Structure 1
């Protein structure tokens, strides 16, 4: 039986323990009583003990039935016990308990069980069943009172109710937090007057999972009557999507005026269960609503005469065709019945929403914690351009990480920004970049301040989290930057991080959550005092002092935060469904009109209604089950990490990159090096997520494959995809990235492990039969991929012709971009010939294009950037199939000296003279090594 330390979550532990108990009780039932070994009894008893800690927090099977099964075990009623445990384990796996009562007595059972698997039901049948959830009631009651509470709740059910629910009763704040964290079925919490603070039992298993998620030690000084409101606030922090209802014997007027977190309603000495029942259903219904999707489905049912664009509308051009009936058969009728270019029938306009789309966006804003949310139907690339164009005017200075998505670079071109690129820390060994250190950002802001340009700095643009999973300490970055520039705007590209909102640990590092926390904190007296004390301390501080100090922002600082999210990448949405979330104190007064114009500029006048509907439904899903799905996503990723890291055969050829591999020690205050240690089990990551400058998103598993002798692209294409049908997005020179998502199952993880083991076995067989020269060739390929790696180049600089002065590094990327439209201003240079020789002669060569190799997938050159010898060496060492912007037949597109001189003359800027550099041996050796 697996050790408890091998489990990342209590829910996964619960599932496996019920399965194990099913096997053990089945064996007990098969054995004659006299032949049952003490070991078998001991295993069953241990499983019951472990499950006893967990089952109190779930409605099914419930503690009453669980205790009955334990009594069956004590009385040696093994046949009846095996039947009951089998029914429970089966119902938990199939989800049957969500649709009907599951009898655990053989006399009451029927034959429906084997045919009641949710996965076997048609989508139409599943859509017709009433959704099931559980209500957590927090009240210290005895067994009789608990049964009375549950009975009253159960008696409130009506046939016309849209949902069905069961009640879970726990006595204390601590038990309520445990239940909310591990029972994903809970959708509402009722806090009654009898709530206590501490649990009545120790939790040797659950304590490890609970530690650090919600610290309640500060509640010890509260009066018992304040435990209920405090619990509502804690629930709002860990699971803000839940509805809370507070029942109190105090003055409801006094209680209602306090901070109650996500409490929807306060009841005075509530015993009217009908009213409570109706409020619970109404609260869930508010999250279940999908105004636009509902309007679209209703529209599809209406008989209409189509006299507008789109022959495909209502499917007419399909059904009348003799040649494309296969398309209609493939997609089915509904998608065509729902197609229209009209904004009638409740469908609303995406460009000027005032009906169902507006409602859907408002619901999304609530779900994601923003002040305003806007839908986009052509991807986050467009979202990025909208935000940049809405906020940036020509000659505004924007600080941006150089390895951000290319849409940001193009957006800055369109806006006419002066771009100041920031360098991320390099991971040379794996040919990837990490993220931009906070010290680098502060240093750049202070340098711009020193030359009198801080007033022109408009925005900081960073990727959170990066494609490879590096996550910023968002709140700290924003506060320290605001301490230097109090009105700085932040754009966080969270294209790969939309799911983070629905996990209590991950949520802390999202832009919207951090913005809301900062808004509230900046208004407190404690923050004002901390700011005043630091200002006095730093009165004569140097820039170096500021760089070494954790700065406190002014209480008057403006919180101006934007995030862009690819809903389609990490949540449920059709491709290109994305959202822009806004939490800007100055949006209404300063930005709204410009944002509207930018939105109009980049959004199609014929948006795809199916994408909008999927965004609406995807929002519903994450509000009602995002917590569960993200939890399972993390479980799958952690299981993958553990399986690969501990498999002796896989360890020969593969390595899961750890936190220490991807984040240098200087940025890990907690000292966390890995998420799973074979000797200690799961490492507590909560301290790291609370304090470290950077953390690693565990849902992304980067696998170093250099030990196989294959580069990342070959391993992805020729091995994983072509041979085994495993699809992945990203590779580096010697690694591949496996991304789990909310649809990843444990079966998918198991299949991947099987494939990797098969690959490792085939390599073993290949090397066993290989000749001496074949083995030598393999060793050389491995050494080339694991030892001979090209250093990643930093951003060099913008050429002087595209800079206003030499006091600071920002450059006019727009002028360079449009200068390249003139063919007479450009030439081509061969990497190994004319370009290499020019750099060796000390000439300044300037890129006329974005040069984007895949991988790593970000620009290593932008228009107007001086090509350094380090960049050339990196390009010559690249061993990839795609380099966007580079033509192998012609070479690298560069500006002619005459064009540069003309631009410089217009700016009245003398060009630097060429300085010949010492001749070095041509770097053909590097090229050969890469090949």
Structure 2
């Protein structure tokens, strides 16, 4: 493959750019030139590009191998005019996607849309030009060119004008090529496997090795029976692309084959009888994923004339269209959004709190798409989703292990549930004033300490953020396995607010909560695993391992005791398509029906509005349809755009002078990366798969953390003054010396180019300013740079709860604290006072504990550095000062930090457990304090 491939991470982008370059080179080649050397250069360029495309084209229906072979023959024959014409037609069809009309023979011939359409005209233009959605079907069978041509013509002959969809075929002869096609071709929606397929391709696949694992045919070798090979191929395809519909065609014993292999396929057909029925089943299978029951019900409702005599004057726009003053709302939002507004659950619209109709169907389709057992829609964000799950699982007094750096909704959830919280410490990144994720050793040490203290029976749940805002991803399977080895019924809540898209990428998917839960369930039920566990027990029986030994080895859960109880909260609106606040709760809990269904329903009722926004619910339904049909393509494009942004920054001589994209090795210390691959995705898919399979933590490749310390700007200033105020570039997360850029499924190459353009402009202006600085100004600039590029000296761990909020029972001291009791103690102002930074330091110097009465959350980094009941430390104060951020929730600049009085702490200690009911217990006269702000 040509050198053009080195900068790519997905074949679809390489393929698209290669066709564009080939059109440009072929056009120049077809024109008269005065220099033979120039013509030779174009010939060489075309030859290289054809060589790049040759191993790729067999896996797409358009242009298809017959057309591609014709193009190659025209080039070899030196007929450059016809060659250029054919390439131009194909490239126009690929660029404008006109081939998706299903008329692949004439695609690209009549092309008059030279510019992308106006987004406001997408619906009408699509109806005129595209007609029906297009997809491709992979057929795995050894056949001649004549047989392949006949099959394509037969499929086309079955098309009817009222078909919902149109499709074309991609035919491969071997199992390894089938897996390659599934990885490369984002248009595939179904696979038809015939029993007559070879296990290994006759083509040279080595040129694809940097994009796919080309050694995937080993298990399909000839010594396997046909049934075994079919089963292996089906399971492998399901692993790579779980959304694909699989069909099997066989000539013999179809009834017996269906009984043996039917679980792997949507349907099994007899080859002589079921061809037309297969065609109809393929269309029906895609239609099942295309269905949007709630969106359809809402759309139907919007077309009905109604008389509203209950609530919601805005229903069907009646309070707007009859207004003299707010008719511009219709002009801005459009009439349909108001026509679909209702607060009624009748008319087929269903109730979110008790769904029995289209909403229930929509949530089940979402569960199928995301691999969960149950999925619930949430209309007010993942903050609420986290609280629902926590309240449904945790009762007052239960112990919960919680990432100290998690989103504030978890901390508030702990307070509402009355949990005894054990905060877990993430590893620090002092060079960037950030925290990573919680090492498994930290989690195990806390669980083992609670076991030694005799409190393991009270441990209910662990909650971790996967992936973190900065893109650190856990090895979810390993964390759950080793935790269940210590606490077999532990419940896991994975906050995947920023990771919903990962389900639709074959590598990222393996570290999602739902995929890991299903794999763990299957592993615990596997007979081979049971034998491994029994062998381990036998070895340990001779010398039972100490806690220290358990910390240093991989633990195995008891398959007879462990229960898989996993929850994931995802912000669909953050990384996929949904209106703002659209989120989902995914559940894979073996004990859900028996232990959780009722309390979950109550918690859902407690936190969900009785007047949910139907537009949000409909958008969740549509967003699910999108990822079920094109999620693989969209996420591939998202990651490719991120990699192109990395390359553009790191390879630009001026940008690299002042900025740098942080690598995996910069954000994940070597001790957590057994693969020792510094930047996995930049060195090929195999390395990425190896790193994601072995490393304790991996880095989400769609995020780019940009180090900007050498610009002299801190992260917040760079974000506000340079990116947002001057150029309209919106970002969220910053640290002392970094800014975070996140690509998503809506990111385009044009938007990446715009960001590069903005960064170059900033760097060019800065470079000019630096070159003109005087000695004094230059010294001050270098001092700022030195301060921003030096490692932070203050990244404190959780200091601990004050002893009056601790549980002192048990065989040894453990760190859990009662957040709820500490939180509600502050509801009586008499218990609180305000102290400045200096006053707190003075008290600490005097040996007096100062206890926070509130959550104190600086933005950035956005997690509470103090929670109610936590003791202040000098390190925490220094950390807040060094952040130099203007936004600190829970801090009043004119008064200081809200803390408990010494008298309140003394009284709380005397009262002991009497304060756990959460009421205002302390009615003493308020002591002399700094007055509270009005």
SS of the residue corresponding to residue 757 of structure 1 reads helix
User: Which residue pairs with 1:125 in the alignment?
Assistant: 125
User: Which residue pairs with 1:91 in the alignment?
Assistant: 93
CA contact (8 A) 1:7 1:682 kept: no
- Residue 620 (structure 2) pairs with residue 615 (structure 1): yes
CA distance in 1, matches of 2:106, 2:251: 39
Matches within 5 A, 1:740-779: 740-779=743-782
C-alpha deviation, 1:88, in angstroms = 1.1
User: Which residue pairs with 1:688 in the alignment?
Assistant: 691
C-alpha deviation, 1:345, in angstroms = 1.4
User: Which residue pairs with 1:913 in the alignment?
Assistant: none
C-alpha deviation, 1:103, in angstroms = 5.2
CA distance in 2, matches of 1:542, 1:46: 62
User: Which residue pairs with 1:555 in the alignment?
Assistant: 559
CA distance in 2, matches of 1:113, 1:599: 49
CA distance in 1, matches of 2:792, 2:88: 55
SS of the residue corresponding to residue 861 of structure 1 reads coil
Structure-2 change in CA distance of 1:668 and 1:110 (3 Å)? closer
CA contact (8 A) 1:398 1:457 kept: yes
CA contact (8 A) 1:421 1:795 kept: yes
CA contact (8 A) 2:243 2:628 kept: yes
CA contact (8 A) 1:6 1:682 kept: no
Structure-2 change in CA distance of 1:355 and 1:644 (3 Å)? same
- Residue 863 (structure 2) pairs with residue 861 (structure 1): no
SS of the residue corresponding to residue 511 of structure 2 reads coil
- Residue 545 (structure 2) pairs with residue 541 (structure 1): yes
CA contact (8 A) 2:248 2:265 kept: yes
Deviates more, 1:563-572 or 1:70-79: 70-79
User: Which residue pairs with 1:808 in the alignment?
Assistant: 814
CA contact (8 A) 1:96 1:116 kept: no
**1:446-469 alpha-carbon deviations (Å, 9 max, x no partner):** 110001000000001000000000
C-alpha deviation, 1:116, in angstroms = 9.0
CA contact (8 A) 2:33 2:39 kept: no
- Residue 32 (structure 2) pairs with residue 31 (structure 1): yes
Residue among 668, 671, 676 paired with 1:666: 671
SS of the residue corresponding to residue 357 of structure 1 reads helix
C-alpha deviation, 1:873, in angstroms = 1.6
**1:642-693 alpha-carbon deviations (Å, 9 max, x no partner):** 221121111110011111110010100111111466xx78882110111110
Matches within 5 A, 1:508-657: 508-539=510-541, 540-556=544-560, 557-657=562-662
Structure-2 change in CA distance of 1:121 and 1:14 (3 Å)? farther
CA distance in 1, matches of 2:836, 2:143: 81
CA contact (8 A) 1:234 1:261 kept: no
Residue among 265, 278, 281 paired with 1:279: 281
SS of the residue corresponding to residue 3 of structure 1 reads helix
CA contact (8 A) 1:475 1:518 kept: yes
CA contact (8 A) 1:796 1:865 kept: yes
User: Which residue pairs with 1:263 in the alignment?
Assistant: 265
Structure-2 change in CA distance of 1:889 and 1:109 (3 Å)? closer
Deviates more, 1:415-424 or 1:185-194: 185-194
User: Which residue pairs with 2:846 in the alignment?
Assistant: 841
Structure-2 change in CA distance of 1:238 and 1:387 (3 Å)? same
User: Which residue pairs with 2:240 in the alignment?
Assistant: 238
SS of the residue corresponding to residue 828 of structure 1 reads strand
CA distance in 2, matches of 1:853, 1:781: 22
SS of the residue corresponding to residue 137 of structure 1 reads strand
C-alpha deviation, 1:771, in angstroms = 1.1
Deviates more, 1:567-576 or 1:136-145: 136-145
CA contact (8 A) 1:243 1:262 kept: no
CA distance in 2, matches of 1:115, 1:442: 57
Matches within 5 A, 1:495-510: 495-510=497-512
CA contact (8 A) 1:561 1:584 kept: yes
User: Which residue pairs with 1:829 in the alignment?
Assistant: 835
CA distance in 1, matches of 2:110, 2:396: 73
Deviates more, 1:153-162 or 1:346-355: 153-162
CA distance in 2, matches of 1:493, 1:514: 14
Cα RMSD of the aligned pairs, angstroms, is: 1.9
Structure-2 change in CA distance of 1:37 and 1:127 (3 Å)? closer
Residue among 394, 397, 405 paired with 1:395: 397
CA contact (8 A) 2:523 2:529 kept: yes
Unaligned ranges ≥5, structure 1: 910-931
Deviates more, 1:848-857 or 1:746-755: 746-755
Matches within 5 A, 1:219-238: 219-220=220-221, 221-238=223-240
C-alpha deviation, 1:260, in angstroms = 5.7
User: Which residue pairs with 2:192 in the alignment?
Assistant: 190
Report how many aligned residue pairs link the two structures. 903
CA contact (8 A) 1:847 1:862 kept: yes
C-alpha deviation, 1:344, in angstroms = 1.2
- Residue 40 (structure 2) pairs with residue 63 (structure 1): no
SS of the residue corresponding to residue 165 of structure 1 reads strand
CA distance in 2, matches of 1:425, 1:260: 48
CA contact (8 A) 1:642 1:676 kept: no
User: Which residue pairs with 2:922 in the alignment?
Assistant: none
CA distance in 1, matches of 2:525, 2:104: 53
CA distance in 2, matches of 1:729, 1:270: 59
CA contact (8 A) 2:102 2:168 kept: no
SS of the residue corresponding to residue 424 of structure 1 reads coil
C-alpha deviation, 1:641, in angstroms = 1.2
User: Which residue pairs with 2:900 in the alignment?
Assistant: 895
CA contact (8 A) 1:708 1:763 kept: yes
CA contact (8 A) 2:420 2:818 kept: yes
CA distance in 1, matches of 2:175, 2:805: 61
C-alpha deviation, 1:218, in angstroms = 2.8
User: Which residue pairs with 1:704 in the alignment?
Assistant: 707
CA distance in 2, matches of 1:251, 1:273: 17
CA distance in 2, matches of 1:542, 1:611: 52
CA distance in 2, matches of 1:710, 1:658: 21
CA contact (8 A) 1:494 1:565 kept: yes
Residue among 798, 809, 824 paired with 1:818: 824
Structure-2 change in CA distance of 1:733 and 1:513 (3 Å)? same
Structure-2 change in CA distance of 1:38 and 1:682 (3 Å)? farther
CA contact (8 A) 1:502 1:630 kept: yes
SS of the residue corresponding to residue 627 of structure 1 reads helix
User: Which residue pairs with 1:461 in the alignment?
Assistant: 463
CA distance in 1, matches of 2:10, 2:384: 37
Structure-2 change in CA distance of 1:714 and 1:683 (3 Å)? farther
Structure-2 change in CA distance of 1:585 and 1:676 (3 Å)? closer
C-alpha deviation, 1:253, in angstroms = 3.4
CA contact (8 A) 1:4 1:205 kept: no
CA contact (8 A) 1:373 1:581 kept: yes
Structure-2 change in CA distance of 1:191 and 1:165 (3 Å)? same
C-alpha deviation, 1:775, in angstroms = 1.0
C-alpha deviation, 1:429, in angstroms = 1.3
C-alpha deviation, 1:743, in angstroms = 0.5
SS of the residue corresponding to residue 56 of structure 1 reads helix
Deviates more, 1:41-50 or 1:504-513: 41-50
Deviates more, 1:185-194 or 1:282-291: 185-194
CA contact (8 A) 1:398 1:419 kept: yes
**1:734-793 alpha-carbon deviations (Å, 9 max, x no partner):** 110000000001111111111111111111111111111111111111111111634211
CA distance in 1, matches of 2:913, 2:61: 76
User: Which residue pairs with 1:161 in the alignment?
Assistant: 163
CA contact (8 A) 1:236 1:261 kept: no
C-alpha deviation, 1:150, in angstroms = 1.1
CA distance in 1, matches of 2:325, 2:264: 56
Deviates more, 1:638-647 or 1:239-248: 638-647
Structure-2 change in CA distance of 1:10 and 1:480 (3 Å)? same
CA contact (8 A) 1:136 1:186 kept: yes
